[in-house]
Structures are given as structure tokens and as C-alpha cells.
Amino acid sequence: MNVDAIIIGGGACGLMCAVQAGMLGKRVIILEKSEKPGKKILISGGGRCNYTNIYIEGDEYISNNPNFLKSAFKQWTVEDTIQFFETYGLTGEEKTLGQLFPTNKNAKDVVKIFTQLCDELGQDIICNAHIIEVKNLDNGFEVIYNAGIKEEKLKAPKLVIATGGLPISKMGATDYALKFATKLGLKIQPTAPALVPLTITGKDADWYAKLSGNSVFCRVSNDKISFEEQILFTHWGLSGPAILQISSYWRPGEYINLDFLPDRSIQEIIENERINNGKWLLSTLLNKFFTKKFTESIGLYLPLEKQLANLNKDDIEKIQRTIHHFKVKPAGDKGYDKAEVMRGGIDTAELSSKTLECKTAPGLYFGGECLDVTGWLGGYNFQWAWASGYVIAQNL
């Protein structure tokens, strides 16, 4: 069977690419390794799929070349994503910080839109496809695969690799794109888990474990960036949205800073309160801002039983440091099984930013998470997957 393009990987990018190509009258076939397409879409956003973010400007992505995505984001905007889903009956509502989730629908409905459109447009999705070999022909590509008992061959002038990143192998993640690119001699930016919980070991581990289940609104920062959202204490360390966000900017051996009262000054609060409430214990004051459990735990470092009026300069300095500059040195991260995305990937310098075609292999395209484009938490990664799928489709 000959088609206009073969897409390896039926996730967010591959599905969008197939649908958009179909709308342009081009015939493609998706070869998907798993038993069904879009498995990561199905588990995304806790099964609700945070499919884009209305505040995307382009600066919320980590890449060796932060400008690379600009052209794709001009060609396919957040508004295009919203309209695309609305056209097929899925409207969105903002949950928090611009994150759009389907209204009265969920991730299954997102995948269904793509599978139904592929059906209507005559784009085949072949599941359980094991890729055996990809041959570069004079006028295109031949893909040899096995999706049953015998080997099959497909030929097409164009080939799209949209096999995603390394997180969650049980959801179908593989290093296929990275290996494929390496074999072609393409440069890879070092990969690591991102949007991932951080672990604490050693003498402090118990302190975190005792707080397990508690969350606190925090400013989490390092010398590169800061995020204000909840953090969650767990029996092995730290999770929650603010921790996932900073994890993408954290490197082993580095500290992160937790500010438990962002935008307020505990020193000022103490100075004001002790005018009228000097007899209050420090614990009474802290309980106004934090759970009892948290106050008790942070109290390990603080004179909780002292009255506000009796706090001296050293005490106040210590309180200020502990509440606003709580230093954490994570031991590591929870790895690809718990990461939402992969940082790094195929170096964008290897591709045209306008078409996502490989500069040294005409007719070959890469899209989605396998590239060195990593978004923040909150719909940013799907926007990149949709946009890159759309852009490639325009050029097949």
C-alpha cells in the first residue's frame, strides 16, 4: 500500500498530524506500537486532559533554542486548538492558571475526536505495530513492520517520527525517536525526567515523611526561575505542581528555595501583631497561616513556645529564614515512571523551524515530545504536540 506519508507514533502529535493531513486530502498511515492510540492523552490531567493553556506566550518552554517553536506557534495558535476542539463538540473551561480542560467531557472524548476523524478521513491507524526497519529510498521511505503474524511493508515519500519522550514506559513510551535520530547522526540534547517529583533522603527524610499528605502554597525558586503554587509533602520527598514545575529547571546537587509565605513578610507580621497581641505564642501566630501539623513540624527549627513580645533579633532572623528561605537539597527525582515529560531530546538545530523537516534528510519530520522542546505543567506540552503535528501535516 502506498500513501503520502507514514507516521510512526499515534499519540498527540501523530494523531493531529494525520487528521490535518487528511483535511488537506493527503493519505497517511499511523503505525502505533500500543494496542490503542493516544494512551498518554487518556491518562493526562488525571483522565481529564488539560489540552492547552490560554496564557501560552512561548517563554514557558525549555529548549537549547527557545526561539525554535515560534514559527510553529504562529502557524497553530492556542486559539486554533480551542476552535479545533469546539468544532468537534468539545468546549473548554479554565481550571487554574489558564489551564483548559474539557467541559463535561474528558480525555477519552479528546482521543475519540481524533480516532473518529481519522476514520472519516480514511487515515488508517495500525496498532500493535512493531517497527522492524526503516529504509531510506531514492524517492522516500520504506517501513517494514509487524502488526500480526507476518511482516508488512509500506512505502511513502514522507516519514514522520512522533513517538514521544521517555516517561512512563508502561504507557508505550520508547526511545525510538532518540535512537532513530542518533543513527542518522543527529545531535541529541541530554535527556532527563521533567515535571517530576523530587526525593529527599538522609537525615532530613523523616521530617518530610512526617508531613506526608500536607500541602502548602509556596513560592519555589532557584537562581533561574520561581513558581507559586501548592507543594505536597510525601513519604519520600516533595511533589505538587510547584515542585513539578521547578524540577524541569533543577539539576542534581542543586538547592531549591521554599518560601512558605510568598508576598508577605513574617517579620512585618510579627512586628505588627506584637503591638496588640504580644502574649501570643509564635505557634498561635503560625497556626493562622498553616495547618497545625505544618506549624508543629516547622517548629522543630523555631521557638514555637515563645511569646511574640519576647522574640529577640536572632529569633526573628531565624523565623524569617525558615519561613521565606527554606533550603532543600533534593537527593534526586522519581524518574521516568513518575515524570510527565522528558527534558532535552532531538536538537532543534537539526530541523527547519518552519516545517520540522530534518535538514539532512529530506522528507523526514520529527514532532512532539521527542524534540528538545519541553513545556511547563498546565497544557503547554499538548499545545506543542498539536502545533508540531499541524505544521508537519502542512508539508507532507
Ligand X SMILES: Cc1cc2nc3c(=O)[nH]c(=O)nc-3n(C[C@H](O)[C@H](O)[C@H](O)COP(=O)(O)OP(=O)(O)OC[C@H]3O[C@@H](n4cnc5c(N)ncnc54)[C@H](O)[C@@H]3O)c2cc1C
Strands of 130-137's sheet, edge to edge? 130-137, 140-146, 151-156
User: What is the rounded radius of gyration, in angstroms, for the C-alpha atoms of the chain?
Assistant: 25
Judged by CB under 6 A, does residue 350 bind ligand X?
no
Window 161-190: residues binding ligand X (CB under 6 A): 162-164, 167-168, 172, 174, 176
Place of cell 524534540: 371
By CB under 6 A, name the one of 5, 7, 8, 121 that touches ligand X: 8
Least separation, in Å, of the C-beta of 121 and ligand X? 18
Window 12-71: residues binding ligand X (CB under 6 A): 12-14, 31-34, 37, 39-40, 43-45, 49-50
Least separation, in Å, of the C-beta of 384 and ligand X? 7
Least separation, in Å, of the C-beta of 254 and ligand X? 24
Angle between helix axes 313-324 and 266-276 (nearest 10 degrees) is: 130
The piece of 70-78, 159-167, 223-231, 265-273 that touches ligand X (CB under 6 A) is 159-167
Judged by CB under 6 A, does residue 368 bind ligand X?
yes
Least separation, in Å, of the C-beta of 151 and ligand X? 15
Judged by CB under 6 A, does residue 392 bind ligand X?
no
Binding residues for ligand X, total number by CB under 6 A: 38
Least separation, in Å, of the C-beta of 383 and ligand X? 7
Least separation, in Å, of the C-beta of 236 and ligand X? 18
**Closer residue to ligand X in complex, CB, 160/298:** 160
Judged by CB under 6 A, does residue 333 bind ligand X?
no
Least separation, in Å, of the C-beta of 144 and ligand X? 12
State the first-to-last Cα distance of the chain, in angstroms, to the nearest integer. Answer: 17
Judged by CB under 6 A, does residue 128 bind ligand X?
no
Least separation, in Å, of the C-beta of 299 and ligand X? 35
Least separation, in Å, of the C-beta of 196 and ligand X? 10
Kindly write out the interface string for residues 74-113 of this chain, putting x where it contacts ligand X by CB under 6 A and - elsewhere.
----------------------------------------
How far is C-alpha 219 from the geometric centre of its chain's CA atoms?
19
* Residue at shortest CB range from ligand X: 11
Judged by CB under 6 A, does residue 381 bind ligand X?
yes
Judged by CB under 6 A, does residue 369 bind ligand X?
yes
Window 266-305: residues binding ligand X (CB under 6 A): none
- CB atoms < 10 A from the CB of 332, how many? 14
Least separation, in Å, of the C-beta of 126 and ligand X? 9
All three cell numbers of 196, joined, read 517530576
Judged by CB under 6 A, does residue 380 bind ligand X?
yes
Judged by CB under 6 A, does residue 373 bind ligand X?
no
CA distances from 336 to 174, 196, 255, 364 (A): 11, 8, 21, 27
Window 210-229: residues binding ligand X (CB under 6 A): none
Decide: 233 and 297 in contact? Cβ < 8 Å.
no
Judged by CB under 6 A, does residue 340 bind ligand X?
yes
Contacts with ligand X by CB under 6 A lie at 8-14, 31-34, 37, 39-40, 43-45, 49-50, 129, 131, 162-164, 167-168, 172, 174, 176, 340-341, 368-369, 379-382, 385
